[in-house]
Structure 1
Amino acid sequence: MTLYVEQRGERGPELVLLHGWGLSSDIWQPLVDQLAERYRLTLIDLPGLGRSEPLTETTLDSLVEVVLAKVPERALWVGWSLGGTLAVHAAAKAPGRISALMLVAASPCFVQRPDWSCGMEMNTFKAFERGLVTSPVKTLNRFAALQTQGSVRARQEFKLLKQVIADSPASSEGLVATLGVLRADLRPSLGQLRGPVTVLLGEHDPLVPVSLKDTLVTLIPDARVVCAEHSAHLPFLTEPDLFIAELDELAAQSQRGSS
């Protein structure tokens, strides 16, 4: 299969950016120039999304295997939403490949379960799955609108999300397969994480509630958990200065730990 990979920047630590469901690596473009001044970036369209072809069989293991084959041997990983799910699984599966981990609006368990209330209701999740079959564009736009609810920059962010969706449309096959990955429960994997971990949550996120903070502190005792007070599901775009400051601190912490 063909995987879309873009590399930017010529100095600084290696940085891998993983985007969310239904989108592509273009979602990072507002920050790329600034990040490329001090990081060597690897941007990937996840298999089945954006400009990357879907896998024959899409599972967490297969997705992570393909991504690991295309990124630097050791790097700081940033995973937003679905990208965070993959980053957690990769860090648990191949800890030596990841120097530090930043999870942005990401949950170890995206869908609610009997012992887990910090997620999307299963009926809502299944409605998205059905919508992808009957009206994928409408469903994607609905999901885009949901991500921006509560953000101080909701209008601008919704416009950007729609543009990214339009510029790199994914197949229904890829959308359904990658959405299914969000059914995973990675809570047991959090205890296996090694190295510095920062979690950035949006105070008004309707998908990954900020109430997750207390639970994450328990599940990842050494993690730094930060709440972006003006953000919904896209805190890296709503409050880019905060995102970059936390990223720079995480990179510095990682370098101190390896020296």
Structure 2
Amino acid sequence: MSLWTETRGYGPELVLLHGWGLSSEIWGEFADRLSERYRVTLIDLPGLGRSVPAGDMSLHAVVQSLLEVAPEQAHWVGWSLGGQLALAVAEHAPERVKSLSLVASNPCFVARDDWPCAMAPEVFGAFVDSLADNEAKTLQRFAALQTRGSDSARDELKRLKSVIVNTAPEALAAALMLLESDLRKGLAGIRCPVQLILGAEDQLVPVSLAANVSRLNQHLDVWVLERGAHLPFISHADQVLQALNSLTGNTEGVNAAG
């Protein structure tokens, strides 16, 4: 599969992976700020944004496509679905991942009997069905859920609506099914520095996830941002940058306030 990429900035290599139904344009100003300290590679996920749809949208195939366009070694930052995919990359090719930042991302997005801190299966199933019936309405509903509870909900919703992709429903559906992946084993076994950044008001990735992931990996560094929802890199950009710079060790000249 052919993936669209863009590289900007100078410094340590860093990869940014966006979430479902969007493109790398969602990173906006946050990517610009990162490029002042990192050499940033933005990637549009398969079938989303400027990347063409792929026939094989299995998790393994998507991971392989990401590795083909990513730097040989890099710090990886994944938001939402992008976090799951970055985690899958780290599990499959640990030598390629120097550190891993999971932003509003759940290693097991859909709840299981032993993993209640996730989206209920019936809610996820309703999204799948709704997408088949009315793509535009489903994307708008998904956008509204992502911003609910945030102090900057209006700005976040405006940003989401400007970036929501216009693509074939079958490509959106295939990407949506990647959210069913269970990557808890990968998180438990990861050896590189890893952090999880959560919004306390997130309606898609509940803050109760913090305690559960800490039991999976006691070395995981968890940040919980009060009054943040599903887009903390917009609502709490300074804090997310601080967390990321701390993880990567790229802290020279960083203002610790925030």
* Interval of TM-score (by shorter of Structure 1 and Structure 2): over 0.9
**Residue 185 (structure 2) aligned to one of 184, 188, 201:** 188
SS in 1 for 2:15: strand
Give distance in 2, aligned partners of 1:128 and 1:240: 29
Aligned-pair CA distance for 1:15:
0.5
Match of 1:245 in 2: 242
Match of 1:204 in 2: 201
Give distance in 2, aligned partners of 1:33 and 1:181: 28
Matched to 1:158, the amino acid is L
For normalisation by structure 2, the TM-score amounts to 0.95
Aligned-pair CA distance for 1:32:
2.1
Stretches of structure 2 lacking an aligned partner (at least 5 in a row):
252-258
Give distance in 2, aligned partners of 1:4 and 1:40: 17
**Residue 223 (structure 2) aligned to one of 214, 223, 226:** 226
1:22 aligns with 2:21: yes
Aligned-pair CA distance for 1:253:
7.4
1:8 aligns with 2:8: yes
SS in 1 for 2:75: strand
For these two proteins, the number of residue pairs brought into alignment is: 252
Call closer, same or farther: CA 1:163–1:253 in 2, change over 3 Å: closer
Aligned-pair CA distance for 1:2:
2.9
CA contact (8 A) 1:230 1:239 kept: no
Give distance in 2, aligned partners of 1:30 and 1:137: 26
Stretches of structure 1 lacking an aligned partner (at least 5 in a row):
255-259
For normalisation by structure 1, the TM-score amounts to 0.94
Residues 85-139 of structure 1: CA distance to partner in whole angstroms, max 9, x if unpaired?
1011110110000000000010011111112111111111111111111110110
Matched to 1:7, the amino acid is T
Identity %: 51
Matched to 2:62, the amino acid is L
Match of 2:81 in 1: 82
Give distance in 1, aligned partners of 2:188 and 2:117: 18
Give distance in 2, aligned partners of 1:94 and 1:181: 19
SS in 2 for 1:227: strand
Compute the RMSD of aligned alpha carbons.
1.4
Runs of 4+ in 1 over 2 A off after TM superposition: none
Match of 1:257 in 2: none
